[in-house]
Every structure is written in C-alpha cells, then in structure tokens.
Chains A and B, each alone.
Chain A
Amino acid sequence: MSERPIVEARGLVKTYHKGEAEIRPLNGLDLDVEQGEFLALMGPSGSGKSTLLHIIGGLDKPDAGICRVGEVEVSAMGEKELCDFRAANVGFVFQVYNLVPVLTARDNIELPLRLLAVSKARRRSQVTTALGMVGIADRADHLPSELSGGEEQRVAIARALVTDPQIIIADEPTGDLDEESSGQVVDILAALSAEHHKTVIMVTHDPETAERANRIMYLHKGRLLDRNPRELSVKEIFP
C-alpha cells in the first residue's frame, strides 16, 4: 500500500518505576500500521503490548517519541482532546467485555453514539448495521447477563465499531473465551479488516488467534520484531 500509514509511531519510550527497579516496556519502539490492516501484537506478559495499545488508542502517553493516528499526533494531546479523540476515532475491545450490565445489547452499542450526539434516526441505523456485522441482531434486546461470553464480546465489538472509528484496538479479545467463541470473534475482526477495510490492532497470547492477522509483530525488550524471538538464532538476538 502506497498510502500514508494510519498509525505511525517513532521512538516510543515508556518507563515505569516499581520500587527501586526501572521497567522500560517501550524502548525506542517504531511501528507503522497501514489502513485496513489486521495487526497482531504478541509478547510475554509485561512486555509492553498493552502500553503500546494504550498509547495508540490515546489512553496513555509516551515519555518520549511521537505517535500519530490519522491526521493527529496523539502523543501531543491533552486529556480533554484525547477524550474527544477516543470517542470519535478509536473503538475499544477489552478482554473482559465491559458492557454496562443494566443496558440491553442494543443500548450498550448505542451508548458511544449518544455521547457523540448522533441523531436518533442515525443512531438506529448505525446500531442495526453494527449488530449485523457481528451477527447478533437476534440477541439485541437482551441484557448482558442473558448472553454467552462470545455473544457479549460480539456486542462489545459492535460497540467499538458503531462510531465508524479510524482504528479498532482489541486487548486480548479472546482471552476469556472458549475455542469456538474465540474463532467467531477473530473471524469478525478479520472480516472487519478484509471486507470493511477497518484497521484492527490486536494484542493476543494465542498463536492460533494471531495467525489470522495480516501481520504479527513481537515485542522484545521494548522493541518490535517481525519474527518470533524464540525462532531467532542467538546471533540475530545479540549481533
């Protein structure tokens, strides 16, 4: 693709202090994500996958480096700007679905549109479209407690895409699901990329889930590698 990447990260650094110890999950990390790409991020726990996802999604800020999403530089935005940015441009899918338990599936999906002050008629049509894309229209009027885990996660994906965001960020979306539901959820994410040209960035521990992505990146010592470090020779790791 010759277009400008939708996500462009350069030299991202993030440092945490845990007591005396200094942890640096991101250490000069570079990343380009193309429009419509389905990218899987892998790496051991605490390797900074979620931190990277949060920076791209405008939830967290790097200590150094630049991160651009679409036309805006999220790493330079203030709290309130980031709120507006997230509402309009980012769809979040979490490991625990985080649906509002007192709202029906339909109302959960509609919530971000209410926040964006979308008219009632448009809200209705967009919710219907989103329900169709995740294949859960027949469960629309049920409360989350009446849905299976897979159904809940599909509602969460519908909520993430209902605002037609520039990027969808999924943090271990299949982590709490059985094999069958996992497959369905990844199918939906893959279809969003392949058929609807949506950009999906997903963190996962599961190699099978990751295989469905266009590209897999591995976080290793605060940087990204495009091959699993376990498959690399010692020479390649310590040149």
Chain B
Amino acid sequence: MMGRLLPFLWCNVWRNRRRSVLTVLGVGVAVFVVAALGAAVEGMTFPVREVGSQELLTVREAARANVLASRLPASYEDRVAQVTGVKAATGVLSDLAVVGTDMAHIFVRGVDPDRYRQVHDIVLDPVAWHAFEADQNVALVGFRLLKRLGWRVGDEIEIEELRLRVRIVGEIPEQGVDLESHMLVRRGYLQVARAAEGQVSYVLAAPEQGYRATDLAAAIDELMELAPVRTETTSSGAFAEAVIDDFMGFIDYLRVMGAITVLITLLAAANAIAMSVRERTREIGMLKAIGFKPGLVLSLVLAESVTLSLMGGLLGVGAAAVVVGNERGSMAGLMLSTSTVLTAVAAALLVGILGGLVPARTAAKVRTIEALRGIE
C-alpha cells in the first residue's frame, strides 16, 4: 500500500519546503554533532587502546609485590601460551646484583632466546643474537649499562653475588624499552647458578591483536586459580587503561551533550511535523472520508517524519565525514568509525520515529466529519 502512495508521500515531505529544509538541517546538525563527538571519543581512546593491545602481560606469583621474590614453575609458560588470545609466552628468571665501586644495580634476566624473541620484539645485531643462542655462559648487555660500567663487547665479566661468569657477546642498542639498562643471560645458566632449576620469576606473555590486556590478565589468573602456585597478572597496558578511565568522566560528558543535542532536535522535529499535521486536518478528514484507514494515515505521517530525519542523518554524517575524514589520523585526535556512523544514523532514525509518533497518532485520530466541517 505504502509503495503505491510513495509519490504522494514524497509530495507531502516537500509540502512546506522551507520548513522541511529547516527540519532536515536541524537533524543534520544534531547528527553531525553526534558523529563529531563520537569521532572525538574514538580519537581519544584509540591510541591508548592500540598501545594497550601491544603491551606485554607479566604473570607472577600472587601476593609477591617484588618481582625478584616471585617464583613460578617454568612449565607455566606453556600453560599461559595456551590461553586464547595469548600469542606467545616465555618464562623469565630475574635477579638483581650490585656491582662495581659505585654500587651500580644491574638487573639480570635469564631468558630462553627462542621464546623470548617471540614475545619481545627486540632490535639486535643478528650476529650478537646468534652468539647468544650458540653458547651458555654468554650475555647481552644494554648500551646504557655498558656505558655506565665501562664494559665492552668481548669482555668476560664476573658477578660474584650471582655466581655468574659470562662473556659479553653483544650490545642491546637504544629501542625505547627498559632492556637498554638490562643484562640478558641464558635462563638455564642462571637457574643453575641461582639454584633455581625449573623455576622462573615471571612469565611474559604477548597478547594477540584485538585482545584487551586486562581481559587476558583475568583469563590467565582464572586458569591458574587451582594451580599449585597462584598467579597475579598485570599489564603495562593497565596503566593506559587507567588513563582512559580518567578520561571516562569527560567522555561521558561528551555523550550526554550528544544526547541533549539529539533530544532538542527531537522536540523541534516533532513540532514541525505536528504543525504540518495541524495545518492539514481538513485534508486528512477528506482522505479518511475517501477511504484512508487510520493506520494508513499514521504510517504516512510517520514515513514523512522518518524520511525528513533520515535525509538530515545522511547530511550530518556526510558533513562529519568531510570534516573528520574516515581515514585514521586525517585530522588530529579525531576518528570516524563505522560504529560512530551507525550510532549517528540511529539517532536520526530515533528522531524521525519518536518525533513523528505523536503527530501521526493525532492525524490517525482526526474525526472525519468534524475535520470536513472545519472544526478541530
């Protein structure tokens, strides 16, 4: 039925051209605001979320605040690696020593070369790495540490405190992570030296793309709930997520502003449609006289309202796309995602349906005889 009446519907939409244009523009502005606010929220949280997903998880013994005191069976690395969403996991035996005359603290990490590299994407000279893989009593040392202690690649050093005697086979160059001031040794070697065979301090795990660090941390701890040694997993992304939480108040504020904008437009659209219906009460009476049923009259008015608001919605989203751009980073700090676009269009649809509902019901209830006589 509506299909055959589409030409009639379209004429009704443009009955009062100026008012229709203003209604479309009004909805358009509201949808633009919703899309732009959404883009700001997305832009604000995206960098943090992105970093968060690349962050590593640290699984250590529960209730051990100090990583050095934490001890887990080395076999946990396999169990952690099997958790859905974990790309790779490796056990690390960590220790601290004080060396030299200036009592420098050095962090020593005993790692399994193969697995460690799967988790930690370190920049390193392949020759140095190969040398590290090839021998047991060897070490890779961060360039900051080398500089500080005056060591050089090729030096044989002894750390009495840890009963370690290793040859430095490579330098860990600058790469923006704390490894720059660490010393990597072979895990098996350190385990023997520290009498910690089969044990690690913690398990490092790398999440797969698309998994939230906090979710994974919870999943890992849940899995280990009944294990001999309970774990506590944290992520460096947790810090970033805490930052987002701080932002949340502001983001909620933006969302409320968006909702208020939509509400105002809703009232304006409802008023415009209601005005349009009031103006043609007599005509609606005529339509009902010649056989238009109340349900059809209701549908026609509702369809008119939805058509106007959807046109506004497309206009608003289009404008937002032009201003924000849908490619990431096209405008500083803004990002228009599909879900934002859908939210904005849904807001327009909501305005159309809710704004049209009351006038449409009024139209459907028009009393034919009174309307024809010109009595309202």
**Do chains A and B interact in one complex?**
yes
Q: Report which A residues bind B (CB closer than 8 A).
A: 50, 54, 57, 59-60, 80, 83-84, 86-88, 92, 94, 96, 98, 100-103, 107, 111-112, 114-117, 159
Q: Across the interface, which residues of A come within 8 angstroms of B292, CB to CB?
A: 83, 115
In Å, the complex CA distance between A58 and B17 comes to 36
Which residue of the partner chain, among A54, A101, A107, A116, contacts B15 with CB atoms under 8 Å?
A: A101
Q: Is the CB of B15 within 8 A of A86?
A: no
Q: Across the interface, which residues of A come within 8 angstroms of B282, CB to CB?
A: 96, 98
Q: Report which B residues bind A (CB closer than 8 A).
A: 1, 4-5, 7-8, 11-12, 14-15, 282-283, 285-286, 288-293, 368-369, 372-374
Q: Across the interface, which residues of A come within 8 angstroms of B372, CB to CB?
A: 94, 98
Which residue of the partner chain, among A50, A86, A101, contacts B290 with CB atoms under 8 Å?
A: A86
Q: Is the CB of A92 within 8 A of B369?
A: no
Q: Is the CB of A117 within 8 A of B4?
A: yes
Which residue of the partner chain, among A88, A96, A102, contacts B11 with CB atoms under 8 Å?
A: A102
Q: Is the CB of A84 within 8 A of B291?
A: yes
In Å, the complex CA distance between A205 and B12 comes to 35
A-B contact pairs, 7 of them (CB 8 A): A59-B368, A59-B369, A83-B292, A92-B289, A96-B282, A98-B285, A101-B283
Q: Is the CB of B286 within 8 A of A115?
A: no
Q: Across the interface, which residues of A come within 8 angstroms of B289, CB to CB?
A: 57, 59, 86, 92
Which residue of the partner chain, among B283, B286, B293, contacts A83 with CB atoms under 8 Å?
A: B293
Q: Across the interface, which residues of B come within 8 angstroms of A100, CB to CB?
A: 8, 11, 283
15 further A-B contacts with Cβ under 8 Å, apart from A57-B289, A103-B8, A114-B4, are: A54-B369, A83-B292, A84-B291, A86-B291, A87-B291, A96-B374, A98-B283, A98-B286, A98-B372, A103-B11, A107-B7, A107-B8, A107-B11, A111-B290, A114-B8
Which residue of the partner chain, among B14, B286, B369, contacts A102 with CB atoms under 8 Å?
A: B14
CB contact under 8 A between A88 and B291, given known A59-B368, A107-B7, A114-B4:
yes
CB contact under 8 A between A115 and B290, given known A60-B369, A98-B372, A100-B283:
yes
A162 CB to closest chain B CB (Å) equals 10
In Å, the complex CA distance between A100 and B369 comes to 18
Which residue of the partner chain, among A80, A87, A111, A117, contacts B8 with CB atoms under 8 Å?
A: A111
Q: Is the CB of B290 within 8 A of A102?
A: no
Q: Is the CB of B290 within 8 A of A92?
A: yes
A110 CB to closest chain B CB (Å) equals 9
